[in-house]
Structure 1
Amino acid sequence: MTLAFPNASRSYEAERRAIRFWGHESQFEFTFYVDADALHRLDPRGLDDEASLLRTFDANRPRIEKAAGVAHARGKQSFYRLTASEF
């Protein structure tokens, strides 16, 4: 089965300094977090507030989903954290 991202929702997690989103494979749902530092790598001019991080996520969603697919292909986990090194 292939990992898909049919749900476009995402949210900012202040305590993790990350954006959370979900992927699906068959009937299974997987949680992904993209660190703020990773988002700054995608847009070095972006600010560190919630709205700016969400905008950066939205503007780079295809690239982020690709990185999430690579992380997921390495092995199934309860959640995945995407860091700056993955971009």
Structure 2
Amino acid sequence: MTLAFPNNARSYDEARKRVRFSGHDGMFEVYFFVAGEVLRANSSSRTASEAEYLASFDALKPRILKAAQAAYKANCAQTIHLDLDNFR
């Protein structure tokens, strides 16, 4: 099966400063977490708000989905963490 992202939902995890979203490989749900450092790299602020993290995620969404597909292809895990290394 191919990894797909039919659900546009994403949520911010304040405690861990990351954004969570999911994808599907057939009937299997895959959880992705984008580190705050990835989202802050798009901002000049060192302390971003929830709205700023989500706006940054939305602005970077094509790159994030591409990185998510590559990370999933390399490691077909149910949970995948995306950090700056995934975007180099």
Q: TM > 0.5 between the two? A: yes
Shift of 1:69: 0.3
Contact 1:20 1:32 in 2 (8 A): yes
**Residue 11 of structure 1 contacts residue 21 of structure 1 at CA under 8 Å; is this kept in 2?**
yes
RMSD over aligned Cα atoms: 1.2
Q: Which residue of 2 aligns with 1:44?
A: 43
Cα distance in 2 for residues equivalent to 1:53 and 1:39:
6
Which whole-Å deviations, capped at 9, do the CAs of 1:3-25 have from their partners, x for residues lacking one? 11010000001122100000011
Are the counterparts in 1 of residues 29 and 78 from structure 2 also a CA contact under 8 Å? no
Shift of 1:44: 3.3
Corresponding letter in the other structure for 2:44: R
> Is the alpha carbon distance of 1:85 and 1:44 closer, same or farther for their aligned partners in structure 2, counting shifts above 3 Å?
farther
Secondary structure of 1:60's counterpart equals helix
1:49-76 deviation line (CA, Å, top 9, x unaligned): 1100000000111110000000000121
Q: CA deviation at 1:77?
A: 1.3
Q: How many residues align?
A: 86
Structure 1 stretches of 5 or more lacking a match?
none
Task: Output the amino acid matched with 1:63.
Answer: R
1:33 corresponds in structure 2 to 33
Matched, 1:9 2:9: yes
Distance (whole Å) between structure 2 residues aligned to residue 81 and residue 18 of structure 1: 10
Contact 2:23 2:30 in 1 (8 A): yes
Shift of 1:78: 2.4
With normalisation by structure 2, the TM-score equals: 0.90
The sequence identity of aligned pairs, in percent, is 41
